[in-house]
Structure 1
Amino acid sequence: MKNNLRVQRAIKNITQAELADFIQVSRQTINTIESGKYVPSTVLALKMAKVFNVPVERSFNWKKEIENKNQSSLHRVGLAFHRLDGCIDTSIG
């Protein structure tokens, strides 16, 4: 699974360590997710999307054939994202 977390971090001007602190994981976890070696759990993906204030679909890109098979799952993730609103502190600085 591809992602654009590195770009989103650059836009927000935060380091891997800062993102890790915001979502309560190690910096190494952020590094392995960014490099595509690790696919985050739904909850972790939602937390990252919340930090960047974007839909989870904008943070992670699924291949077309996988996306078609998992359309209903993606919809459920989107619904969960909206429910997560307010559950984590996304303030920076």
Structure 2
Amino acid sequence: MRNKIKELRKQIGLRQEDLARELGVTRQTINAIENNKYNPTLELAMKLAKLLKTPVEVIFELDDC
């Protein structure tokens, strides 16, 4: 699954540390998600969408099946 978190995060001027703090996760978790090495839980994906003010389906895109 690919995502646009890094792009959206930078647009609103947040660092990985800032985003992690707001979501209650580590910076390493944000880094792993941004680099497509970890798929977030549904709960975390929903929190990301709310914080980034972007629908989940715009942030995350499934790889071709």
Structure 1 segments unaligned to the other structure (5+ residues): 66-93
Matches within 5 A, 1:1-93: 1-65=1-65
User: Letter of the aligned partner of 2:9 in structure 1?
Assistant: R
TM-score in terms of structure 1 length:
0.67
Q: Which has the larger radius of gyration?
A: 1
TM-score in terms of structure 2 length:
0.94
Instruction: Give the structure with the larger helix fraction.
Output: 1
Q: In the comparison of the two structures, how many residue pairs are matched?
A: 65
Over aligned residues, Cα RMSD in angstroms? 0.9
Q: CA deviation at 1:55?
A: 0.5
Q: CA deviation at 1:63?
A: 2.7
Q: Percent identity between the aligned chains?
A: 40
Greater RCO structure (CA 8 Å; 6+ sep) = 2
